[in-house]
Each structure stands twice: as structure tokens, then as C-alpha cells.
Amino acid sequence: MIVVQSTQKLFDWRNQISQNSKIGFVPTMGGLHSGHLSLIKKCLLGSDLSVVSLFLNPKQFSETEDLKTYPSNFLEDLKTLKELNVDVVFAPLENEIYADDDYFSVVENKISLLLEGNSRPSFFPGVLTVVSKLFNIIRPHNAYFGKKDAQQLLLIKQLVRHMKYPINVVECDTVREEGGLAMSSRNNYLTKEDRSLAKIIYLSLLEAKKTLSSGEHRCVLIKNHVTSILKNEKKITLDYISIANVHTLEEFVDIVDDDALISIAVLVSGVRLIDNVFFKKQ
């Protein structure tokens, strides 16, 4: 396994790779957990050469968010990636990605303004900017992203399409803890009691999907059902519950009449968590 911190050295490595070799890429911010590992394993199976980035991207954190305390363990991550037989780890310093005079950003002006973008306005410009830079540096054939961050996944697919990147975006299923809590680096902030409590997030989404599948397609009733499940939990604060078109993320106003993404954002003892399920209209 090669560990590269310099952008130029990554360029040098990439330029000597045969055109016949298929490169797979998994971008991460470190603090690897089972969700990341599922992406990496899929990458290893579908690629001749694998690249994993470890870069805690400051541009996607607001001033009030947890950049300084975000869970990470660089040496442990390297050990894990070596055991998986990853070919290259790209772990750049911040000044390798963002120069002092770098005032560029990649902004999407529709989908990124909804859901997470409404709650965290600096988040998606930061994500799209760093992913664009990483794509330019690594030039992968396949890039692997999880469905757990469904809005991000949709935006990355749109980025690839509209910016003409010759990259195949591979969608990967959400990995869950026992009880259903979606794997996330921020789960490390939760106490054992909070983790047990947080399984209700996924259960409420399953109830919403079950309600839709049973033939009840009125949005207000479905959202009220989810809210009623969560409201008795004093440690849980609901940010939003959304039922949106899976292709555009436009909210269904009255009736769900197409494939839908049911997504939720909550705070569990102050820790912000997101999750989602997909509903396919018969």
C-alpha cells in the first residue's frame, strides 16, 4: 500500500498507470467505520487499482459545527486500509487541496438548497468542491458513494453528468448497526443509551414506508405518523421529515404519486443524524 500526501506525487503515480487499468475511488474524511469499509470492499472487487482518500474537508463545516472534534484516527485508518489491501491512500494536507489564494467553489443551485442544504447552507458547496478536486487529481473510472447520504449521492451524480466527468458513480447500500441505526462517524458521539434510543429513527422511516406501501399516500398523514413516533422521546429533536421525488428531491405536497425518498434529520442528545429509505411506487 502506498500512502501519498502530495498532490504532485499522486499525479505522478496516476500518470504511470496503464490506460487498461480500471481505477476505483472511495472518498472519506477518515474515522473509518463499517459503512466506509463496505464501500471500499465493493471498490476492491470492481477495480484493478483502488484509491481511498483520507481528508477532513474543512469547507463543508460551518463555524458552529464539529470540525475540531470530528471522529478520526489516522494511524488506525491506515492499519485498516493496509489489511484490506488498498493500493493507494491519498491523505493530503489542507494546503495541498486549498491554496491560500484559492477562492473557487463548486455550487449547485437547485437540489443542494433543499433538505440538508436548507439546514446546512455551507455543506454541499464544500462537498462538491472537494469531490471535484479529488476527481481531477485521481481521475478514477469508478467512484463509490453510499445511499445513506442520498442527497449527496444525487448531487454527485449530477456533478458527474453536468461537468462531463468520465466517471461511473457506484451506489452502495446503507450499512446499519444492530437495531437499525445507520453507520455514521458521528455515532461515536452517542452514549450507549443514546445509540439504543437512536434506532427509533430507522424504525420511524420503516413505518412511513409501510404506510405508503399499504396504500395511504397522503403526505400529511404519513409525516404526522412519523412525528408522533418521535415526539415522546425527550432526547430526540426533529429537524425535518421529507417525502420527496427520488429524482428531483421536490417535495410531494399532497399525494405521493411517484418513486419517493423518505428522509429525516434529528438531533439525539444534540448529535445531528440523518437517515432515509426509498419507496418505489408500483
Q: How confident is the model at residue 281 (pLDDT cuts 50, 70, 90)?
A: confident
Through-space distance between the first and last CA atoms of the chain, rounded to whole angstroms: 47
Q: Is 36 a catalytic residue?
A: yes
Domain ranges (residues) in the chain: 2-172, 185-277
In the chain the beta strands, taken as DSSP E runs, fall at 2-4, 23-28, 49-54, 88-90, 142-146, 168-172, 236-245, 260-268, 271-279
Same CATH fold assignment for domains 2-172 and 185-277: no
User: Which CATH number is 185-277's, of 2.30.30.90, 1.10.3720.10, 3.30.1300.10, 3.40.190.10?
Assistant: 3.30.1300.10
What digits encode the pLDDT tens for the residues 90-120?
999 999 999 999 999 999 999 999 999 999 9
Q: Does the domain made of 2-172 have the CATH classification 3.40.120.10?
A: no
Q: How confident is the model at residue 2 (pLDDT cuts 50, 70, 90)?
A: very high
Instruction: Determine the Cα–Cα distance for residues 163 and 108; give it in Å rounded to an integer.
Output: 11
pLDDT of residue 114: 95
Q: How confident is the model at residue 88 (pLDDT cuts 50, 70, 90)?
A: very high
Q: Which amino acid belongs to residue 14?
A: R
Residue 234 has pLDDT above 90, yes or no: no
Q: How confident is the model at residue 282 (pLDDT cuts 50, 70, 90)?
A: confident
Residues 6+ apart with CB under 8 A from 206: 180, 277
Which carries the bigger pLDDT value, residue 75 or residue 233? 75
pLDDT mean over 185-194: 94
pLDDT of residue 249: 96
Computed over every residue of the chain, the mean pLDDT equals 96
What digits encode the pLDDT tens for the residues 248-258?
999 999 999 99
The DSSP-derived string for 228-278 is HHHTT-TTEEEEEEEEEETTT-PBPSSB--S-EEEEEEEEETTEEEEEEEE
Residue 170 has pLDDT above 80, yes or no: yes
Q: How confident is the model at residue 278 (pLDDT cuts 50, 70, 90)?
A: very high
Looking at 36, 141, 162, 247, which residue is catalytic?
36
pLDDT of residue 258: 94
What digits encode the pLDDT tens for the residues 34-86?
999 999 999 999 999 999 999 999 999 998 899 999 998 999 999 999 999 99
Residue 233 has pLDDT above 90, yes or no: no
Smallest Cα–Cα separation from 140: which of 162, 124, 156, 119?
A: 156
Residue 202 has pLDDT above 90, yes or no: yes
Lowest mean pLDDT among 137-141, 233-237, 256-260: 233-237
